[in-house]
Amino acid sequence: MIKYSLRCAEGHGFESWFQSGAAFDGLLARKLVSCPHCGTSAVEKALMAPAVGTGSAAPAPQPPASPPDEAVRRLQALRTEIEANSDYVGDRFAAEARAMYLGETPDRPIYGEAQPAEARALLDEGVPVLPLPFLPSRKAN
C-alpha cells in the first residue's frame, strides 16, 4: 500500500491510499480518482515529504486496516436515507436531472449513474448534482 498526497485542479488537497504506484497511475488514467471536495477527476500528485526513519527499531506505520467505524456507520446511514427517499434512475441520471432543472418534469429526489463528462456538463449548465460516496445497491456485487 502507498499513500499519496493529491491536489485537484481546483486547488483542494487530500490524501488517499493505493495498492501500488502502478495501480494509482491506472486509476488516474481512467479518471477514477476524484477530489472528495468537488468531484473533479483532474487530479495530480502533490509535493510529498518522504518518510524518513528515525533509526529506531520501531516498525514503519501501516495503513489503517479499515475506515473508522463511525465513518462507515454514517456512510451506511446516508446510503439508507438516499435509497429509501429517492428514485433510482440508473444511467438515465443526466437526462432526468436536466429535465427536472429545465422544468420539463416534476422535481423529485433521484440518484443514479453518470459518466464523468455527463456530470461535468450538468455542473457547467448549473444543474445542482453531487457525486455519492458509494455505488448504488443495484450495481454492487
Average pLDDT of the chain to the nearest whole number: 84
pLDDT for position 87: 94
pLDDT for position 67: 56
Degrees to nearest 5, angle at CA 139 with 133 and 141: 105
Measured CA to CA, the distance from residue 92 to residue 108 in angstroms comes to: 14
**Percent of the chain surpassing pLDDT 70:** 82
Q: How far apart are the first and last CA of the chain?
A: 24
Measured CA to CA, the distance from residue 84 to residue 92 in angstroms comes to: 19
Residue 35 pLDDT greater than 90, yes or no: no
Over residues 70-81, the pLDDT tens digits come to 888 888 888 889
pLDDT category at 46 given cuts 50, 70, 90 is confident
**Domain parsing of the chain, residue ranges:** 2-45, 69-136
Degrees to nearest 5, angle at CA 114 with 108 and 117: 125
Q: Are 8 and 43 in contact (CB under 8 A)?
A: yes
3-state secondary structure (DSSP) of residue 110: strand
pLDDT for position 101: 94
Residue 103 pLDDT greater than 90, yes or no: yes
Which grid coordinates belong to 137? 445497491
Dump strand ranges (E) for the chain: 2-8, 13-18, 43-45, 87-90, 110-112
pLDDT category at 140 given cuts 50, 70, 90 is very low
- Higher-pLDDT residue of 127 and 2 is 127
Cα–Cα nearest to 42, from 54, 30, 57, 31: 31
Over residues 50-89, the pLDDT tens digits come to 666 566 666 666 665 555 778 888 888 888 899 899 999 9
